[in-house]
Amino acid sequence: MENKKVEEIKKFVRKTKVEHPFHSIDTAMEVAQKIHENGNSLKKEALSIILKKKGGAFEGRLTSARRYGLIEGTDVLKITDTAEKILNPIEDGEDIGLKIRTILSIHLFNKIYSIYGNSLPNKDNFASILLRQYQIPKKSIEGTIRVIKQNLKELPDLGNLKENPHNLLKYSENKENVTPQSEQKSNIKVFEKGRFVVQVISPFDNYTKEVTDEIDWDVIEAVIKGMKNKWIKQHEEKLQKDLN
């Protein structure tokens, strides 16, 4: 009996080794949308009928929606605050921004878009990168590449994260209680005292970001990485010019 229990635990660990979704954000949002249309709460069996999906196809969509943080629950499924805000934006671009933040909350996706942007490696090289650098099992690589490309297609701004990470700020920045500094041409903003804010000033961009959750740190790191790359490029060009 004890050996059987150990084997079940090992099987569970193997099955849960991959933690990223295998569906695009828009496909996962279809799950949340149907729950939302039925009062933000719905029995699992009823959702299966509404989506016209069952078995592995149905469970796969639920898993993706959960991993994006869009739904919660087991027998009775509910949408999260994030999903509700995406479905009911109160200003232009808010839904897009929340989708981007949700995608970037997935560690693997954040790394891939930050490093490659739109310029993904060819299929064979990409497969090797996922296998060797990110320890993605071989059987999961094709699905991983597919969802990364789908998210790029559905939200093209993700492709700008590599070269122009600050372009995503218009989607991810919390605009409440923010007052622009008057008499200044920079984009630095003044925040209420007591709020945690990161400010980066450089010759390229002036960047201000309030930190409200871990996703904000991921965006800040991407912005700083982008500025560093610009600095390195400028420094190398200067050195080359001096040598000539």
Instruction: State the distance between the two ends of the chain, measured CA to CA, in whole angstroms.
Output: 76
| 90 φ/ψ angles, rounded to the nearest 5 degrees | -110, 0
Domains of the chain: 2-87 (1.10.10.10), 94-163 (no CATH), 175-243 (no CATH)
pLDDT digits (tens, 9 = 90+) for 189-218: 444 445 677 777 766 666 667 676 666 777
CA distance 146 to 204: 34
Which residues are paired to 71 by β-bridges? 79
pLDDT digits (tens, 9 = 90+) for 129-164: 999 999 999 999 999 999 999 999 999 888 887 766
Residue with token string 């299966």: 48
pLDDT digits (tens, 9 = 90+) for 45-95: 999 999 999 999 999 999 999 999 999 998 899 999 999 999 999 988 889
List, in order, residues 6 or more apart from 101 with CB less than 8 Å away: 171, 172, 215, 219
